[in-house]
């Protein structure tokens, strides 16, 4: 199962469309906030794809139905989805790691920093992945960034893509 992960589109939905078109086998979309209205419009264009989304610190207005955090399991992998601002991820990933530990998440997916990140931390006898797709709406190094989570048989592989 291939899951596309987006964050921080900031009123630029076109790169999300381009990424989805480049991943015809995507089975799910995740959004980490800051441009949730962009993501909502995109999700209507792909009604076959299940979506999970959370609000970011720049998402204002009527956003009923979009939590600040989501925890779910897909394909045997537990995922904590958040924007990251509530955990101070621009300064440290410690609070996010603690939240992932409390919720027994295999992957903590977050945005906010606009920096693609893939980091693994040991917690006792298990490992938690901290994964930021980067910004799909604000160019870094001349590119827009997104994430890919591949899940097979309860295991996962993380990677980043560029537009």
Residue-level pLDDT at 106: 98
Identify whether the C-beta of residue 3 lies closer than 8 Å to the C-beta of residue 151. yes
Residue-level pLDDT at 78: 98
pLDDT tops 90 at residue 135 = yes
Tell me the CA end-to-end span of the chain in Å, nearest whole number. Answer: 21
Residue-level pLDDT at 65: 77
Rounded (5°) CA angle 42-84-39: 5
Residue-level pLDDT at 123: 87
- Judged on CB neighbours under 10 Å (0-12, 13-18, 19+), 45 is exposed
Task: Give the chain's domains with CATH numbers.
Answer: 2-162 (3.60.21.10)
Beta strands in the chain (DSSP E): 2-6, 26-31, 51-53, 69-74, 77-82, 107-109, 117-123, 126-132, 145-152, 155-162
Segment 48-91, tens digit of pLDDT: 999 999 999 999 876 667 999 999 999 999 999 999 999 999 99
Identify whether the C-beta of residue 147 lies closer than 8 Å to the C-beta of residue 18. no
Tokens of 10: 């900031």
pLDDT tops 90 at residue 10 = yes
Identify whether the C-beta of residue 133 lies closer than 8 Å to the C-beta of residue 158. no
Residue-level pLDDT at 64: 67
Rounded (5°) CA angle 153-93-159: 40
């Amino acid at each position: 199962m291939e899951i596309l992960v987006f964050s921080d589109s900031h009123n630029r939905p076109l790169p999300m469309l381009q990424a989805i078109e480049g991943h015809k086998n995507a089975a799910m979309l995740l959004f980490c906030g800051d441009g949730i209205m962009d993501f909502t419009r995109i999700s209507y264009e792909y009604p076959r794809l299940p979506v999970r989304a959370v609000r970011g610190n720049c998402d204002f207005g009527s956003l009923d139905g979009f939590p600040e955090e989501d925890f779910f399991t897909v394909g045997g992998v537990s995922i904590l989805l958040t924007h990251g601002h509530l955990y101070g991820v621009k300064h440290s990933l410690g609070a996010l790691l603690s939240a992932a530990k409390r919720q027994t998440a295999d992957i903590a997916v977050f945005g906010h920093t606009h920096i693609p990140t893939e980091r693994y931390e040991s917690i006792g006898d298990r490992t938690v992945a901290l994964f930021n797709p980067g910004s799909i709406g604000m160019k870094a190094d001349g590119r827009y960034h997104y994430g890919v989570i591949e899940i097979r048989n309860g295991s996962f592989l993380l990677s980043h893509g560029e537009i």
